[in-house]
Structure 1
Amino acid sequence: MNTGSTITAGIDGSRASLDAADWAAREAGRRRLPLRLLQAGTRHRVAARVPDVDVAAGCARSALDRAAIQLSYAHPALDIVARDTETPAVPALLGAAAESGTLVVGTRGHTGHIAAAGFLAGSVALTVAARAACPVVLVRAGELPEDERAFTPGGTPPSAAPYRPVVLGLDLEHPAEDLIGYAFDTAAVRSAPLLVVHAWTRSGHERGASAVPSATVPSLGDADDQEAGRQRALTGTLRPWRHKFPDTPVSEQVVRGHPGDLLLKASTGAGLLIVGRPAGERLGRVARTLIRQVTCPVVVVPHG
């Protein structure tokens, strides 16, 4: 597998990790990439390709084995590799992120004593999203394939329904190409519409999808002038991407208010929410709030 051309999903046996792995398998199928399943804090075994998972006679199947076999039946054309490691969850996931194009984790894992060896308790998922070198997708327990699709009356099968919109929260102070490119590519892979939201506050105290440099938009003037300037800046930022992805429907929203509240509202009915994280910075309060409250999967994309 080539570095950057693999989707990796963390497995710990929790419902959230299994649903995250299923989401990762669907994404790997959409992008025609191999899927790697990784379980940390376990007795080390040699990596196995599915369905030929190595299970010793008389031994119960591990959560990793069960997940690999289930996904191989659900996605028979997918190239799946299952691996476990004795390395603890956070360093194992961060190491996998350095070798993957996308890392997928669940936002709720085991709790209590068992969690010492497992993935994906909330703090682990947040830590990985704050430090990973590749985009990290956080998937809630209970996420189903049909949740990605729009409701279509008249007996249309869920697998044939159109995808729900992809929402990008964009900070015009950091309009990173990696972030915007990921959003456009993700929408294009799904043939889904893309909604780009820039939220701002007049005081400038809110950061993360809220600020814009004074060189682009005047810092003085009334709110209408500032909003118009931000709208022009957003349109200009997205123009080359619209040309690069001419078949992707794109909507723009410039809205004044708290970024977390506005992105939470914008993501209602969305299939995916994408936010950025400047490289070397911690995961912001807005991103952490969205990860905990948004019902659709959230992608944190490092950039800059």
Structure 2
Amino acid sequence: MTRTITVGLDGSPESLAAAVWAAREAQLRDLPLRLVNAWEWQPPAYAPATGLGVPVPPTDLQRAWARRILDEARARVARRCPGLRIDADTIAGLPVPALLEAAGDTELLVLGSRGLGKVAGFLAGSVSLAVLAACEHPVVLVRSVAHGTPKPLPPDPAAELPAAGHRDVVLGLDLHKPSDAVIDFAFDAAARHAARLRIVHGWTLPPYYYDGALMPELNDEMVTRVRHELADVLRPWQEKYPAVEVGAQATIGGAGRHLVDASHDAALVVVGRRIRRSAVGAHIGPVTQALLHHAAAPVAVVPHD
């Protein structure tokens, strides 16, 4: 089967921005773009439990609305990226299982995200969050604006997105269990975008420290050790991608806040997510959660064992 970049569309400004981002990525990877919409309607998560039920639109109307969303998005993307092969498919089924099935045939799944900092954003992002927690392929979440309340896209939705060529790709690296899949994804993205790769690793001092003041010489030793560990992990990847300029940053404290700060000047932020196939328990770590709440740049979440 032909590899594709797939975008899940729901007619929101965020999903249109995701389609524009995905089109650029498809051009960089020399792959076709696939636009999909799961047309089967489901009641909102916040629908009142009145016992009367929520009216379900007729099937024909649902299908017609899905086709309109796809046609409008396809026309916008085609104007922005002439020559790009664009397929558009309606998929019968509820959004989450339909998108997960579509992701099984794609190299990259791209979804719109409002950010989850407010109640309305959380509800609107529930589909993206559920797909992200279960998908075993890389997922990129794209916002239509960097800050504030989402607004309708202008005639050129790309105007809402930063120029990737002048911004870093940022990688949140876990030194304790570094994943080859996550590191390779970040280096590859930086190479494709001709961007600098900025690597952020957060680490914590032992609990008996008080700002490192008790034993400053031991504090310096730990900093040096972390830097050496970073260099050891990155060395084979710098050899594989010699054209990628790398800047590594080891910061005291959790990585989430530092990655959110870095996202304001980034083309893309890359983090990993450990695959958990159990039906219960958390499936998205705290660093990824922080980025979903507050990141200004697109966020790529790469699953790994």
TM-score normalised by L of structure 2:
0.77
2:87 pairs with 1:86: no
Deviation (angstroms), 1:42: 4.2
| Alpha-carbon distance between aligned partners in 1 of 2:268 and 2:177, rounded to the nearest angstrom | 21
**Which residue number in structure 1 is paired with residue 191 of structure 2?**
188
Paired letter, 2:291: L
Deviation (angstroms), 1:223: 2.7
Change in 2 beyond 3 A, CA 1:149/1:71: closer
**Which residue number in structure 2 is paired with residue 241 of structure 1?**
237
**Which residue number in structure 2 is paired with residue 262 of structure 1?**
258
**Which residue number in structure 2 is paired with residue 102 of structure 1?**
108
| Alpha-carbon distance between aligned partners in 1 of 2:158 and 2:75, rounded to the nearest angstrom | 18
**Which residue number in structure 2 is paired with residue 22 of structure 1?**
20
Structure 1 residues without counterparts, runs of 5 or longer:
44-58, 110-114, 151-161, 205-220
Deviation (angstroms), 1:225: 1.9
2:162 pairs with 1:148: yes
| Alpha-carbon distance between aligned partners in 2 of 1:285 and 1:183, rounded to the nearest angstrom | 20
Q: Mapping of 1:198-209 within 5 angstroms?
A: 198-203=201-206
User: SS state of the match for residue 252, structure 1?
Assistant: strand
Alpha-carbon deviations, 1:125-166, whole Å to 9, x = none? 11111211111000012376464327xxxxxxxxxxx33100
| Alpha-carbon distance between aligned partners in 1 of 2:103 and 2:166, rounded to the nearest angstrom | 27
Paired letter, 2:162: E
Deviation (angstroms), 1:203: 4.4
Query: Could you tell me whether the CA contact under 8 Å between 2:186 and 2:270 is conserved in 1?
Result: yes
Query: Could you tell me whether the CA contact under 8 Å between 2:5 and 2:108 is conserved in 1?
Result: yes
Alpha-carbon deviations, 1:81-104, whole Å to 9, x = none? 100112111111111111111000
TM-score normalised by L of structure 1:
0.77
User: SS state of the match for residue 92, structure 1?
Assistant: helix
- Percent of pairs with identical residues: 44
Structure 2 residues without counterparts, runs of 5 or longer:
42-63, 147-156, 208-216, 277-281
**Among 266, 269, 272, the residue aligned to 1:273:** 269
Alpha-carbon deviations, 1:184-235, whole Å to 9, x = none? 000000110000111111248xxxxxxxxxxxxxxxx933222211111111
**Among 132, 139, 163, the residue aligned to 2:166:** 163
**Which residue number in structure 1 is paired with residue 287 of structure 2?**
286
Query: Could you tell me whether the CA contact under 8 Å between 2:140 and 2:301 is conserved in 1?
Result: yes
